[in-house]
Structure 1
Amino acid sequence: MKRVYTFFAEDVLFSLSFVIAMISFAFGKFSFGSIDFKVIFCLLGLMLFVKNLEKLGILTYLADKMIDFSATTRSLIRNITILSFFSSMVLTNDVAILTLMPIYLTIIKKFSKMENKILGAVLLIIAANLGSSFFPFGNPQNLFLFSYYSLSTLSFFKWSIVLLLASTLILMFSFLFIKKRPLPPQHNFVPAINKKKLFFLSMVGSFILLGVFNVIPYYFVIPTAVVLLTIYDRDMLTQIDYKLLWTFIFFFIAVGNFAQVEVLSSFIKEQFTTSTRTFFGSIFVSQFISNVPAAILIAPFTEQSQALFWGLNVGGLGTIIASLANLIGFKLYKEYYPKQSNAFLLQFTAVNFVFLLCFILFFTFIV
């Protein structure tokens, strides 16, 4: 019983999705058609690829290089935030935070009197959430939307470039609020990257992207990539977050079952009939169940795909549960500074809602 309790208690969203899926069976009949297998397969392939890329130490290498150019506290936070922003485009927001947050926290421990430590961690998380919105594979909700609405690559980038430009401007402005204090010089040993392994992983990653972008059928690309990556390093299979995959499956099942309830379907459809209502509605829902489940819940009931895309990605800002990446960042910070968890939550919430307000004001004129 202890093992069962621990299994479900350590991942609240997974447990919640399981319970909701079980309840949904009382309202509708299960169908495999409710599950978007492309999303599941592509997520599996990308997670396996990212784990191998992370193990190779590319982000650590880039982070250490950037630290060499950081003369002040402002430049240090700016550099690690920018790295988080751009790396999350390819490596997903979760992985960017999982990799860069420990590096950032290790660095700032060397500077006991450094100011704006929490603000730097918060900006790193925000940057990862925003940067991951540029590509369909940068975060789970975009991968789902790209697949569910059968979006063309051109349409997706027309939407994401708007969000990218707004994110860049707001982030750059936020750096002005970081105090500029000199940092003592650091002499870090930067290990070399194995170029042969980097080339191999780059080829496999490009192959996976062909499946994501529908150039080659995903049901051929992903199994092939999984086999290649398993041969390359079979231990990586044990490090995949399979609970995330099952969380998606459970939400697919729940949405498919609940969609058969005519009263509920009609109610949700009425709430997301226009682009404005869809934009604000998806932000609101994300604050309580996070933007990934919100995407799965709302998408079947609205044709406002553009507004939903902007709303869900902006909706990752705000509360600590608005995005799964937020929880990951908080958990990591708490491990390093357990006495500062309350201070982190307060500052995280305040800064996130300021960012959220800025984006709402920006998109109000174009939604």
Structure 2
Amino acid sequence: MKRLTAFFTDDLLFTVSFLIAIISCYFGAFSLKSIDFNVIFCLFGLMLFVKNIENLGILNYFAEKMIDFSATTRSLIRNIVLLSFISSMILTNDVAILTLMPIYLTIIKKFPAMENKIAGAVLLIVAANLGSSFFPFGNPQNLFLFSFYSLSTAQFFEWALLLLFSSLSFLLIAFLFIKKRTIPKQNSPLPIINKKKMFFLSLTGLFILFGVFNVLPYFIVIPIAAIILTIYDKEMLRQIDYKLLWTFVFFFIAVGNFSQVDMISTFIKEQFTSNTRTFFGSILVSQMISNVPAAILIAPFTEQAQALFFGVNVGGLGTIIASLANLIGFKLYKEYYPAQSKKFILQFTLINFVFLICFVLFFSFLL
């Protein structure tokens, strides 16, 4: 009983998502179609790959190089946050966070007295969510909206550029609030990397990315890559955060079940009738069920494509569940600093809502 209690109390987000999924089954019929197995498979493959990279010492290598490029704590946070912003455009927000958050956390482990380390982690997540909105394939909600509304490339980038420049402006302002402290010079030598193992892992990582970007079928690529990586290091499978994967599954189930309720569908259809109502409504729904399910749920009931685009992308800011990428960032931080979970949630919520308010004020004058 103690083990069972500890299992559910150790990760409250997992427990809450589990309870919501069970409750939702009362309102709608459970269907496997509700679960986006593409997301689950790809996330599993990426987590396994990053764990192998971490054990090989590559994260420590990049951490040391990042420190060399940065003279102060502000420039250090600014450099890795901007890297997250730019890389998420191509790699997607999930991949950017999975790749860069461990590097950032490895860096700050070297400076126990460093200030604003939680703020830096939160800004990294915010940057990944915002930067990934620039290309249709950067995040799932934009890929869905691009296809559902048959948007032209010119139209999409007209909206995306506006979001990109406003996002970059708000991030640059945010850096001014990071305390500027000189980083002491590091005399420790760079870790030695086994080049043969690095080459092998790079090929495997590229193979996984083929599945993530649908170059090859994910349901074939990811299992093969998982088997290869497991043979390479059998202990890897034990280090994967399976609760995070199940949290995603439970959210997909809940959204799928609740969307079957006629009252909810009717309510959505009546509410999303104008640009302003669609913008604010999609932000609100994103806070409760995350922005990807919100886009899928709302799109069939409104013709306000632009407002929905801005709403679900900005709506990834706010609560910890507003974007599934937020959950990934939180879980990674918790792995390194388990005692700071509550403090992280508080700062995450504060910083995200400040950004959200800024975007709401900005787009209120444009829609």
Task: Confirm or deny a common fold (TM above 0.5).
Answer: yes
CA distance in 2, matches of 1:72, 1:107: 14
2:114 equivalent to 1:106: no
Q: Runs of 5+ in structure 2 lacking a partner?
A: none
CA distance in 1, matches of 2:60, 2:81: 14
What does residue 8 of structure 2 align with?
Answer: 8
Amino acid at match of 2:63: A
Counting only pairs closer than 5 Å after superposition, residues 2-81 of structure 1 correspond to structure 2 as 2-81=2-81
CA distance in 2, matches of 1:7, 1:257: 26
Counting only pairs closer than 5 Å after superposition, residues 253-268 of structure 1 correspond to structure 2 as 253-268=253-268
Amino acid at match of 2:126: I
Amino acid at match of 1:197: K
CA distance in 2, matches of 1:298, 1:51: 36
Query: Is contact 2:80–2:104 with CA below 8 Å preserved after alignment?
Result: no
Query: How far apart are 1:208 and its partner, in Å?
Result: 3.0
What does residue 203 of structure 1 align with?
Answer: 203
CA distance in 1, matches of 2:340, 2:29: 48
Secondary structure of 1:193's partner? coil
Question: Structure 1 residues 331 and 61, CA, compared in 2 at 3 Å: closer, same or farther?
Answer: same
Query: Is contact 1:97–1:128 with CA below 8 Å preserved after alignment?
Result: no
Amino acid at match of 1:103: T
Question: Structure 1 residues 205 and 5, CA, compared in 2 at 3 Å: closer, same or farther?
Answer: same
Counting only pairs closer than 5 Å after superposition, residues 243-322 of structure 1 correspond to structure 2 as 243-274=243-274, 276-288=276-288, 290-291=290-291, 294=294, 298=298, 307-308=307-308, 310-319=310-319, 322=322
Query: How far apart are 1:191 and its partner, in Å?
Result: 0.9
2:249 equivalent to 1:238: no
CA distance in 2, matches of 1:303, 1:3: 50
Structure 1 residues 321-330 or 147-156, which shifts more? 147-156
Query: Is contact 1:93–1:131 with CA below 8 Å preserved after alignment?
Result: no
Secondary structure of 1:92's partner? helix
Matched-pair identity in % = 63
- Output the TM-score relative to the length of structure 2: 0.76
Secondary structure of 2:235's partner? helix
CA distance in 2, matches of 1:154, 1:55: 44
Query: Is contact 1:27–1:258 with CA below 8 Å preserved after alignment?
Result: yes
Structure 1 residues 281-290 or 59-68, which shifts more? 281-290
What does residue 227 of structure 2 align with?
Answer: 227
Query: Is contact 1:42–1:218 with CA below 8 Å preserved after alignment?
Result: yes
Question: Structure 1 residues 333 and 315, CA, compared in 2 at 3 Å: closer, same or farther?
Answer: farther
CA distance in 2, matches of 1:309, 1:57: 40
What does residue 95 of structure 2 align with?
Answer: 92
Query: How far apart are 1:337 and its partner, in Å?
Result: 6.7
Question: Structure 1 residues 275 and 236, CA, compared in 2 at 3 Å: closer, same or farther?
Answer: farther
Q: Runs of 5+ in structure 1 lacking a partner?
A: none
CA distance in 1, matches of 2:137, 2:226: 17
CA distance in 1, matches of 2:293, 2:12: 13
Q: Deviations over 1:121-163 (max 9, x none)?
A: 543443344345567787xxx3466469757999698466654
Q: Deviations over 1:216-262 (max 9, x none)?
A: 33333333332333333332222223223323333333333333322
Query: Is contact 1:88–1:128 with CA below 8 Å preserved after alignment?
Result: yes
CA distance in 1, matches of 2:17, 2:302: 22
Query: Is contact 1:286–1:294 with CA below 8 Å preserved after alignment?
Result: yes
Count of residues paired in the alignment:
358
